[in-house]
Structure 1
Amino acid sequence: MKPPDLFPDLPRTAVAVVFFRPSSEQVARIVARFAGRMPVFVYDNGGIPPEALVRLRQAQGLTLLGEGRNGGIAAALNALAEAAAAAGFPRLFLLDQDADAGIETVRALSLALDRAAGAEPPPAVVGPAPAPNPGHKAPRYPARPDVGPRGGLMPVEFLATSGSLVDLAAFAQVGPFREDFFIDAVDLEWCFRAWARGWSCWMDPGTAIPHSVGRGTIRARFLPVAMPDQPLFRMAVYVRNTAYGWRLPHVPARWKRRQIAYLPLQIGLYWARHRFSPRVLGRLLTALAQGLAGRLGRPADAPP
């Protein structure tokens, strides 16, 4: 018997999930929370356990996309947005496999997006506040200057994709996520582009979910600075994409100045964490040069 629709006020909102090397438990959690209750689009970016793939294929109301190859988060999100829009859904709730969210989160954000509907510029996305997650550095979403709060929501420069509710009509106007970024800073660049093209991004302080970025946190010994500890290829892509962002006219100068000051410190902290390895420093400096030169795309050392 089909489970009851817990929230009949969400008949045209779909859930989109990107999986990359998830555990069977992570897949089971997504299926249990959403399948049969809301339309679900899943993208297989590779590494889904065989028994979990069977669960996905058998789940009610779930559409499985992707060929099991890691094409990067941006390409996966774009494919999910395209599929949901083609199916007639005006809103899409984005999740990664680590996010701890359920239908209640979708409903809260849907109501938040309704409250932001009269804002100028109009809203493209609304997302939750970052909740504390032990062992991980919570992201921070800087307030957007010169735009006031609305309906208890805060205008922010950018949001993480995971946990965000996207208006797909706005997405069509802003354009897709940059697939040549591959993974890091994809959401940041898109939100700055949204603002530049006459749309807005909002955070709902009354809704919060934890985020798990990286394997832990790197902290400076003598400064109040912390950053996620990530695999080398991820850190290199972050460095590359951040440097490339300095070339983009829609990224505000205030953010560029901040990152120009902050990125060398991050590189130094990461290098120190890896015992001042020449290989690590060389990889990060190469990534910096690639970003400044505009050489993007899939990293050679990205996992398949």
Structure 2
Amino acid sequence: MTPSAPTHDTAVAVVFFRPTSAQVARIVERFSGHLSVFVYDNGGLPADALARLDAAGVTRLGEGRNDGIGAALDRLCEAAAAAGYARVFLLDQDADTTPETAHALGLALDRLAAVTPPPALVGPAPAPNPGHKAPRYPLRPGITPHGALLPVEFLATSGSLIDLATFQKIGPFREDFFIDAVDLEWCFRAWSRGFSCWMDPATAIPHSVGRGTIRARFLPLAMPDQPSFRMAVYLRNTAYSWRLPHVPARWKLKQMAYLPAQIGLHWAHHGYRPALLARLLSAVADGLRGRLGRPADAPP
């Protein structure tokens, strides 16, 4: 596919939160005129970036406040479906990709049309990104690969191509999760409702999770270095996921073993502050109690 050959049934949907002008310019330059572009303004769009989006005829949603990633993704999918698109290529502002990737994933989704269970989405493999820990997408047990395409438990939303008719059947992303583990919960829900999630190793997108990587000194453990707000939301949502019947027991057991190490690594990396440890443990308790929604310390 050349950049001048549009993918007519696919829209690109981007969530912006305090992006740089260069990040916005990259999205406009690469996609405007090749794919219909929908963006959600979760706050902090520079004035020149807003003008660039409007001049490019981009469909802009949101009111410039931080509504969370779940709400932003849901509004984008709804708007793309209402505009008549069958598929949506989801991106965050850090995604370094092109319309060619959307086209390649579309061909992969076409190849998966006859598989059982039917596909809900297909996404790229994580490309190496210096200074950041690449996510891992575990293979789904009991499902046979389809050629080079691999069935996986979950993928990051950024870079994934979603079938919007299937999205309607599975249901929206959890807005009460606000940000972290939204993609993981949705993919597990898709599997539980008779749909499947796939990774195309022939495509790859680097992911920049957090501000770097925290590594254990004496153990082979590494995790993204997230702001403490993000870490707390991740812990809360992970703990809540232990209550969900569609999240497999094998994943719950793995996370139950891993979470204490993550708490310890984050706490140590940020100076062993007692208040921080109390915040992290309180987040786990909130998850176990089902106290979700917008966190009190969420950035505006």
Q: TM-score range by the shorter chain?
A: over 0.9
Aligned: 1:284 with 2:276: no
Deviation at 1:117, TM superposition (A): 1.1
Q: Is the 8 A contact 2:3 2:99 kept in 1?
A: no
In the alignment, which residue of structure 2 is the partner of 1:266? Answer: 262
Look up the SS of the partner of 2:210 in the other structure.
coil
Output the CA distance in 2 between the equivalents of 1:5 and 1:103.
7
Deviation at 1:37, TM superposition (A): 1.3
Deviation at 1:279, TM superposition (A): 1.1
Output the CA distance in 1 between the equivalents of 2:278 and 2:5.
52
Output the CA distance in 1 between the equivalents of 2:166 and 2:144.
20
Output the CA distance in 2 between the equivalents of 1:119 and 1:198.
11
Q: Is the 8 A contact 2:3 2:100 kept in 1?
A: no
Look up the SS of the partner of 1:18 in the other structure.
strand
In the alignment, which residue of structure 2 is the partner of 1:211? Answer: 207
Aligned: 1:28 with 2:25: yes
Alignment deviations for residues 110-163 of structure 1 (CA, whole Å, 9 cap, x no partner): 011111111100000000000000000000000000000003100000000000
Look up the SS of the partner of 1:300 in the other structure.
coil
Output the CA distance in 2 between the equivalents of 1:6 and 1:56.
19
Q: Is the 8 A contact 2:70 2:178 kept in 1?
A: yes
Picking from 46, 50, 53, the partner of 2:47 is: 50
In the alignment, which residue of structure 1 is the partner of 2:92? Answer: 96
Output the CA distance in 2 between the equivalents of 1:87 and 1:122.
24
Aligned: 1:228 with 2:224: yes
In the alignment, which residue of structure 1 is the partner of 2:80? Answer: 84
Which contiguous aligned blocks of 4+ residues in structure 1 show a shift greater than 6 angstroms?
none
Output the CA distance in 2 between the equivalents of 1:6 and 1:210.
24
Of all paired residues, the percent bearing the same amino acid is: 74
Q: Is the 8 A contact 1:115 1:151 kept in 2?
A: no
Picking from 197, 204, 226, the partner of 1:201 is: 197
In the alignment, which residue of structure 2 is the partner of 1:173? Answer: 169
In the alignment, which residue of structure 1 is the partner of 2:244? Answer: 248
Look up the SS of the partner of 2:88 in the other structure.
strand
RMSD: 0.9
Output the CA distance in 2 between the equivalents of 1:26 and 1:257.
38
- TM-score scaled by structure 1? 0.97
User: Gapped runs of 5+ residues in structure 2?
Assistant: none
Q: After the TM superposition, which residues 103-118 of structure 1 pair with which residues of structure 2 at under 5 Å, given as runs?
A: 103-118=99-114
Q: Is the 8 A contact 2:12 2:90 kept in 1?
A: yes
Output the CA distance in 1 between the equivalents of 2:113 and 2:137.
20
